[in-house]
């Protein structure tokens, strides 16, 4: 088969996925809440299969504004909107897709206001689960957060990330919270803020192996993004938390566990492959600092 035909087939497959997604999205407003959930699960399945080009062709500013309008007009429940948006953010981070549309959409402003409003409620009126869902969605979809939102989101996400329950459901909750935290860059004046919580998460995993690979990798990302500019804290990362040893071990474990040739289906990579690719991309982003640490402390 010629290269031209291969390209044409790839293009047709991309169009098929995007058309299917658009069709399901159009049908959402015609469905009851329970039927909407079924449609969203189908949409999330399509998102799993999308590459970066397909993803960006779907989640434009216009599309995100449509979701915002559906929420405003009550054509989609907030619960179902979060089910979709959280999966969009999860796949975006897992596949390391650059994505800037969200911050320029009306949906971003709506979610920002909802986070602030929910946080300002009295304790007995506040819905902690709803606030957590909103914070996870916003952190995963956004490429920048204001200090005001960080001051709400980080403590909320850390509370979940500190859970030590090893049930499958709890592990999923911790993984999502740490993935959202790992997305958040350094934007605070006090470098030591939340340091003890992150150290506790890393220490506990080193002793009990309670986190998934993606969750542990995300904890390190959050830590390194926030504290590498401080020499004292850098010493803590490499000497107390043994960054070089842990990074080397993680890459060795991942490389042994991955069948690089295995694909569940065309265009859909196995999750463990995506995890190691995300890890390598992260290391590449700070390659000089990481290399220095690994040479000095392994």
DSSP string, 56-69: HHHS-HHHHHHHHH
Q: What is the mean pLDDT of the chain?
A: 80
- Judged by phi (left if over 0) then psi (alpha if -120 to 50, else beta), residue 96 lies in left
Mean pLDDT of 40-54: 93
> Do residues 219 and 182 make contact, with C-beta atoms less than 8 angstroms apart?
yes
Per-residue confidence (pLDDT) for residue 66, from 0 to 100: 96
Provide the pLDDT for residue 103: 95
Q: Are 180 and 135 in contact (CB under 8 A)?
A: yes
Cα separation, 8 vs 275, in Å, equals 29
- CA terminus-to-terminus distance, the chain: 49
Residue whose structure tokens are 């492959």: 273
Lowest mean pLDDT among 23-27, 118-122, 223-227: 223-227
Q: Does the structure show a pLDDT above 60 at 38?
A: yes
- pLDDT tops 70 at residue 202: yes
Cα distances from 229 to residues 31, 33, 233, 289, in angstroms, run 51, 48, 8, 11
Alpha-carbon span 139 to 295, nearest angstrom: 33
pLDDT exceeds 80 at position 266: no
With b meaning 16 or more CB within 10 Å and e meaning fewer, what string describes 58-77? bbebebbbbbbebbeeebbb
Residue 260: pLDDT over 50: yes
Cβ(135)–Cβ(115) below 8 Å: yes
pLDDT single digits (tens) 11-20: 545 568 889 9
Q: What is the pLDDT of residues 128-139, one digit of tens each?
A: 999 999 999 999
Residue 178 has pLDDT above 90, yes or no: yes
- What pLDDT score does 284 carry? 54
pTM to 2 decimal places: 0.80
Please state the rounded mean pLDDT for residues 200-212. Answer: 88
- Given CA atoms 202, 206, 212, 217 in this order, what sign does their dihedral have? positive
- Which one is predicted more confidently, 172 or 295? 172
Residue 147 pLDDT more than 90?
A: no
- Tell me: pLDDT of 294 over 80: no
Average pLDDT over residues 211-232: 76
List residues bridging with 269 in a β-sheet. Answer: 263
- State mean pLDDT over 69-88: 95
The rounded percent of the chain whose pLDDT value lies above 90 is 44
Phi and psi at residue 269, to the nearest 5°: -80, 150
Asked whether 186 and 225 are in contact (CB, 8 A), the reply is yes
The mean pLDDT of 148-175, rounded to a whole number, is 92
Quote the pLDDT of residue 227: 60
pLDDT digits (tens, 9 = 90+) for 224-238: 776 655 556 666 666
- Which of 2-6, 94-98, 110-114, 275-279 comes out lowest in average pLDDT? 2-6
Residue with tokens 């390209």: 7
CA distance 150 to 60: 25
What's the token pair of residue 85? 């948006």
Rounded-to-10 torsion of CA 181, 182, 185, 189: 50
Whether residue 76 contacts residue 28, with contact meaning beta carbons closer than 8 Å, is answered with yes
């Amino acid at each position: 088969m010629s290269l031209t035909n291969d390209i044409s087939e790839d293009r047709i497959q991309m169009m098929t996925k995007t058309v299917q997604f658009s069709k399901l999205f159009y049908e959402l407003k015609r469905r009851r809440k329970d039927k909407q959930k079924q449609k969203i699960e189908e949409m999330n399945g399509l998102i799993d299969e999308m590459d970066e080009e397909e993803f960006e062709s779907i989640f434009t500013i216009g599309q995100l504004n449509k979701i915002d309008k559906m929420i405003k007009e009550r054509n989609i429940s907030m619960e179902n909107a979060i089910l979709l948006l959280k999966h969009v953010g999860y796949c975006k981070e897992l596949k390391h897709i650059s994505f800037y549309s969200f911050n320029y959409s009306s949906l971003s402003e709506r979610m920002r206001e909802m986070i602030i409003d929910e946080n300002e409620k009295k304790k007995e009126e506040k819905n902690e689960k709803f606030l957590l869902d909103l914070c996870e969605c916003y952190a995963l979809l956004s490429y920048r957060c204001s200090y005001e939102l960080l001051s709400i989101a980080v403590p909320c996400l850390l509370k979940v990330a500190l859970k030590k329950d090893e049930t499958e459901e709890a592990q999923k909750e911790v993984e999502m919270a740490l993935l959202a935290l790992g997305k958040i860059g350094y934007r605070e004046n006090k470098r030591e803020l939340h340091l003890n919580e992150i150290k506790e998460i890393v220490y506990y995993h080193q002793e009990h192996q309670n986190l998934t690979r993606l969750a542990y990798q995300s904890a390190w990302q959050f830590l390194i993004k926030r504290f590498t500019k401080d020499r004292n804290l850098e010493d803590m990362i490499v000497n107390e938390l043994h960054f070089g040893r842990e990074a080397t071990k993680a890459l060795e474990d991942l490389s042994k566990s991955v069948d690089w040739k295995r694909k569940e289906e065309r265009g859909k990579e196995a999750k463990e492959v995506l995890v190691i690719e995300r890890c390598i991309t992260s290391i590449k982003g700070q390659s000089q600092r990481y290399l220095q640490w690994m040479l000095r402390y392994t």
